[in-house]
Amino acid sequence: MKYRRSSEITHKIHKNLFEKTYWREKGFSGEIVSNGGGPMLGCSTGPLSVVYDATNDKNVPALVGFIAGRPGVEWHRQTVCMLNLYIFCTTCSTF
């Protein structure tokens, strides 16, 4: 998983931890648009704003997500470990 932290409000997360494009096998596009849901881990919402299928032309499965706005500021305070764990669990349970 690649994660870039910065002082910007938008953060990009690129996940290529998957062995296969399980979301496609289930008939999903891999796209998520979210308001983050309810409060968690001291933040007003969950971190993810949007997620897209980033599978490459060699069929290496990947998802890319963005954390933007207020959640980007709040989740920037979390440890990378907590953020990675939450994002992995959320994307896997969504599809």
* Distant-in-sequence, close-in-space partners of 32: CB < 8 Å, separation ≥ 6: 48, 50, 51, 65, 91, 94
Q: Could you tell me the CATH number of the domain that includes residue 21?
A: 3.90.660.10
pLDDT tens, residue by residue, 53-88: 999 999 889 888 888 888 888 888 888 888 877 777
Instruction: Return the residue matching tokens 């881990």.
Output: 41
State the total domains in the chain: 1
User: Measuring CA to CA, which residue among 9, 17, 6 is closest to residue 89?
Assistant: 17
The tokens describing 85, both together, are 């764990």
Three-state SS for 60?
A: coil
What is the extent of the structural domain holding 74?
A: 2-94
Q: Is residue 4 classed as helix, strand or coil in its secondary structure?
A: strand
Q: What is the pTM of this model?
A: 0.71
